[in-house]
Amino acid sequence: MAKITEAKFWTNLLKKLLNIVAKDAGVRTRPPTHHQHVVPHEEGWAVKGEGNERYTGIFDRQSQAIKRAKEIARNYGSDVIIHRSDGTIRDRISYDKED
């Protein structure tokens, strides 16, 4: 950690404070991800991109939703987060971006 007398200390402190203010104002402070969530839906199961308001797809069975989420996540090198019917997370599958 930088000493209080160093410019780096003050720069880091200012960054942290600005980050807190931005989050409180509802501003996204991290780059968007392409993580895909498999979530319960009134018509079965749905795939929803992280941070998105709309569903990518709605499926009868969770296995169908997982298959579609995996296809999308592989393309982006992101994660599939699988939820239980109560909304809690049951599994996470990570994919690396292939060049």
pLDDT digits (tens, 9 = 90+) for 46-89: 999 998 889 999 999 999 999 999 999 999 999 999 999 999 99
Question: In the chain, where are the structural domains located?
Answer: 1-30, 36-94
Long-range contacts at 11-19 (CB < 8 A, ≥ 24 apart): none
Q: For tokens 């079965």, what's the residue?
A: 44
* Closest of 75, 27, 71, 82 to residue 51, by C-alpha: 27
What is the C-alpha separation between 81 and 92, in angstroms, rounded? 5
Tokens linked to 9: 């200390």
pTM over 0.95: no
